[in-house]
Structure 1
Amino acid sequence: MNRAFLFIPLIGFIAMGILFWIGLGQEDKTALPSPLIGKPFPTFILNTVESGESTNHLPQEAVLVNVWATWCPTCKAEHAFLNELAKDGVKIVGINYKDDDFKARQWLQAYGNPYLFNIADPDGKLGLELGVYGAPETFLVDSKGIIRAKHIGDLNPAVWAKLQPEFEAMQ
């Protein structure tokens, strides 16, 4: 009878392992939900990369807010697509994240500037308020300044195909 009690921890361990295994398959591993969805875009008082002028508001129209940096290889990969979107009339605001303004201006001259304006965020304070994990990240912000969606990673035709209906509904 005493030997039967020796198997109780083993049986418990196996049962917990099965429950953990089942639980691991239940979550969407590609989703990183943002607590800011449905909330106002944070106010900011930062200099713009291009002109150095101080600004604290987004345009009162639906915009993409793209977090980018010159040190980010994925940002370079997505930049051509952002230029295409801008040519198609999509309004894009940039946040130059933890970067040097001089390098950012050189980058925009070399690769084109799809942005209405770029917010310089050298210390990453605005990025912190937005819950930025790294660059690139893109937010869909409606005309009232409410964040409607967030995408982590490069914006490309496949991702835009999923985001575009939501963006157009905000117009």
Structure 2
Amino acid sequence: MNELEPLALPEPRRRKISALTIVPIIAFALMGLFGWGLFTGDDALPSVMLDKPVPQFTLPAVLGRAEGLTTQDLLGQVSVVNVFASWCVPCRAEHPIFMELSATSVVPLFGINYKDPPEQARAWLDELGDPYVRIGADRNGRVGVDWGVYGVPETYVIAANGTIAYRHVGPITREIVQEKLLPLIRELQQPASKGALK
């Protein structure tokens, strides 16, 4: 028997070593892609819903609010829809901006409260303020799926004819409001841009 034979790694051990090498490389590559996606490019992600009518939906009111939200509420005027949740840290960061936008009365702001326990949603709005004309409680996330929501927060600009004109994934900043949302809202509010949902 050759004395060097025991030094050769058995086949299963060689596979284990290569798996231990490959898995971290793949994980770091995925983290790099994720980080690059977060910090570069435009958050106006492509969506199959752009330029299409908003989905048909009816949502009940958030606990403590009088009215829910339906498709019909988004017809006849340019509006903004914000998908948010009390458990969402970026939603808390963007909320003061929506309070400011609501105070200007430039555009009606509607909310979809996404997968939130009713008491938490109510407490969050009571604490931070309620900028929304109406809010629907999407407790199981089904309406969010119909809208193509990846996660919260997401914000949509809706044309007067009920089509989705713009989608922003991630928290809204003052720069996004000034450079993207308001110019698009003003353009859509021009008489030539108005139309009826066919």
Corresponding residue number in structure 1 for 2:72: 57
| 1:5-34 superposed Cα distances (whole Å, 9 cap, x missing partner) | xxxxxxxxxxxxxxxxxxxxxxx8545201
Corresponding residue number in structure 2 for 1:163: 181
Corresponding residue number in structure 2 for 1:13: none
| 1:152, distance to aligned residue in structure 2 (A) | 0.4
| 1:163, distance to aligned residue in structure 2 (A) | 2.2
Distance (whole Å) between structure 2 residues aligned to residue 120 and residue 159 of structure 1: 26
Distance (whole Å) between structure 2 residues aligned to residue 164 and residue 54 of structure 1: 23
Q: Does 1:70 align with 2:90?
A: no
Read off the aligned partner of 1:37 and give its amino acid letter.
Answer: L
TM-score (normalised: structure 2)? 0.68
Q: How many percent of aligned residue pairs carry the same amino acid?
A: 38
Structure 1 window deviating more from structure 2 (50-59 vs 98-107): it is: 50-59
Corresponding residue number in structure 1 for 2:102: 86
| 1:105, distance to aligned residue in structure 2 (A) | 1.3
Distance (whole Å) between structure 1 residues aligned to residue 185 and residue 58 of structure 2: 26
| 1:164, distance to aligned residue in structure 2 (A) | 1.4
Please state which structure has a larger fraction of its residues in helix.
Answer: 2
- Distance change >3 Å, CA 53–CA 136, structure 1 → 2: closer
Contact 2:68 2:134 in 1 (8 A): no
Q: 3-state SS of the aligned residue for 1:114?
A: coil
Q: 3-state SS of the aligned residue for 1:58?
A: helix
- Structure 1, unaligned runs of 5 or more: 1-27
Distance (whole Å) between structure 1 residues aligned to residue 149 and residue 90 of structure 2: 15
Q: 3-state SS of the aligned residue for 1:115?
A: coil
TM-score (normalised: structure 1)? 0.79
